[in-house]
Amino acid sequence: MYIVFYSTSNVFKAESLLNKANIACNVVPTPATDKAYCGVCIEVENDVVLDILDSLEYELVMEGENKCANS
Amino acid sequence: MIYFDNAATTKDKPQEVKDAFFYYISEIGVSPGRGSYGLGIEASRMLYQTREKVAMYFGLQEPNVVFTKNSTEAINLFFRGFLKKGDHVVISPYEHNAVLRPLQALREKNLIEYTVVSPEDLGLSGDAFANKYFNENTVLLAMTLASNLTGRIVFSKERCIVAKSKGVATFVDASQGAGKIRLDMLNDGIDYVAFTGHKDLRGLPGVGGLCSKEELKIEPLIQGGTGVHGHEKTNPAIYPDAYESGTMNMPAIWAFGQAVEYSEREHDRCLSIECELVNHLIEGLKNVPYVTIYDMDCDRVSTVGFNVRGYSSNEVVRILDKHGICVRGGMHCAILAHETLGTVNTGVVRVSFCENNTLEEIDELIAIIKTIGDKRCI
């Protein structure tokens, strides 16, 4: 699952928050083709992480999909 | 060579700052936000980490830091974006031209008005100050942290807190003093801080920035490539990207993060050394009859301004330079301060220390001042 952001700064803020919570994540190129998102995003295994990112504006892209779901 | 011009630029940088710069240009070398390959991602991560570090240094909980090339750009970004037609700004009589000139330019376009506080009123209580200087159009109190000319500390926490209670936003130009006086924006009543890296924060030239309690929602100073929303024809309303158009000076930004760490870690040691240096200089000069020290009895950072009767400041600079001592004379880009002190015609000799200066270096300067004074003033 990919967590996509509008701001690059928020990608790394999310990475910092997830790292502090010892949740594995990777910063990877954004798979979505929508131009609204910045070029990199966070890849995680599942959505249990999302509470940690409450303060951020993001959307989700599931593996193999190009559609985005509002968080 | 003795270097006493640290208020202009600190010449000696901590080794970790040099190492960080070298690491970036040799091991990273690419720009943040411009590529989604691994190295580009690492550059973006380093930019974010520096943002966090700088924000924490200034007492913010969120990484609300926009990087610019220096504090002048940060101040222009803020004033140009924040101020609207009809606004009124209150500034101190010690403001650098980096604050004065953008305001004056807006005033000459009949967009804003500003009032310069008289020097004796800097001692007023916050309420008395507000009652005297704020009017119904006042939207901003903008003051320097410390005078770049005399070292006098101008910032007042109480004044800022009272201003905010009256609905007036507060801005501190921390170009002078940011590495010497710790600001806690959330607790000190400060909404905005402009900083520069190359002075007493001991970073490299070419990096500065604007910190804000909240994310900026003003017009960007410049438009251009942001690395995100490339399909839009003006800068996107994305913070902080919208305010950092163009390629950033990432080697200096990364090194600046190390400079901030150094300044934080070594704060007490440096403060102790520099207090001793300042006291030694003032003690050595204050009883010399033909020397005038400005703002002698004020709380100060490690900067001292003085003149030698019978000499212009630049004559003194030239004499000291012949003895291998670097100090600065002239206007120091601070016309308001010179008008305040009555030194527009002579300029002021400015001596500004860092923690690596020594008492022996100061003794050399004092001895020369006493010698030249004897020749022309007695």
User: Are both B251 and B273 inside the same structural domain?
Assistant: no
Q: State the ipTM, two decimals.
A: 0.86
**Domain assignment present for B378:** no
**Which of A4, A5, A8, A38 is best to mutate for the B interface (most B CBs within 10 A)?**
A8
User: Are both B110 and B223 inside the same structural domain?
Assistant: yes
Q: Is the peptide bond before B205 cis (omega within 30 degrees of 0)?
A: no
User: Are both B154 and B193 inside the same structural domain?
Assistant: yes
**Domain assignment present for B248:** yes
User: Are both B229 and B114 inside the same structural domain?
Assistant: yes
Neighbours of B309 (CB within 10 A): 14
> One digit per residue, pLDDT tens: chain A, 71 residues?
899 998 899 999 999 999 999 999 999 998 866 666 788 999 998 777 788 898 899 988 887 665 444 33
User: Are both B320 and B176 inside the same structural domain?
Assistant: no
Q: How far apart are the CA of A29 and the nearest CA of chain B, in angstroms?
A: 5
User: Are both B166 and B189 inside the same structural domain?
Assistant: yes
**Domain assignment present for B80:** yes
- B241 contacts on A by Cβ (under 8 Å): 7-9, 38
Q: Which domain holds residue B291?
A: 2-10+267-372
pLDDT of amino acid B376: 63
pLDDT of amino acid B312: 94
**Domain assignment present for B218:** yes
pLDDT of amino acid A67: 47
> Among the three residues B226, B249, B265, which one is the final residue of a domain in this structure?
B265
Widest distance between CA atoms in chain A: 31
User: Are both B283 and B211 inside the same structural domain?
Assistant: no
User: Are both B238 and B299 inside the same structural domain?
Assistant: no
**Domain assignment present for B377:** no
User: Are both B182 and B272 inside the same structural domain?
Assistant: no
Q: Are B348 and B306 in contact (CB under 8 A)?
A: yes
CATH of the domain at B166: 3.40.640.10
Ranges of residues in chain B whose predicted pLDDT is under 50: 378
Report DSSP letters for B105-167, one per residue: HHHHTTSEEEEEPPGGGGGS-HHHHHHHH--TTEEEEEEESB-TTT-BB---HHHHHHHHHTT
pLDDT of amino acid A65: 61
> Among the three residues B265, B295, B312, which one is the final residue of a domain in this structure?
B265
CA dist B186 and B205 (Å) reads: 28
Q: How far apart are the CA of B229 and the nearest CA of chain A, in angstroms?
A: 6
User: Are both B271 and B261 inside the same structural domain?
Assistant: no
Total of domains in chain B:
2
B238/A36 touch (CB, cutoff 8 Å), yes or no: no
User: Are both B195 and B298 inside the same structural domain?
Assistant: no
User: Are both B252 and B295 inside the same structural domain?
Assistant: no
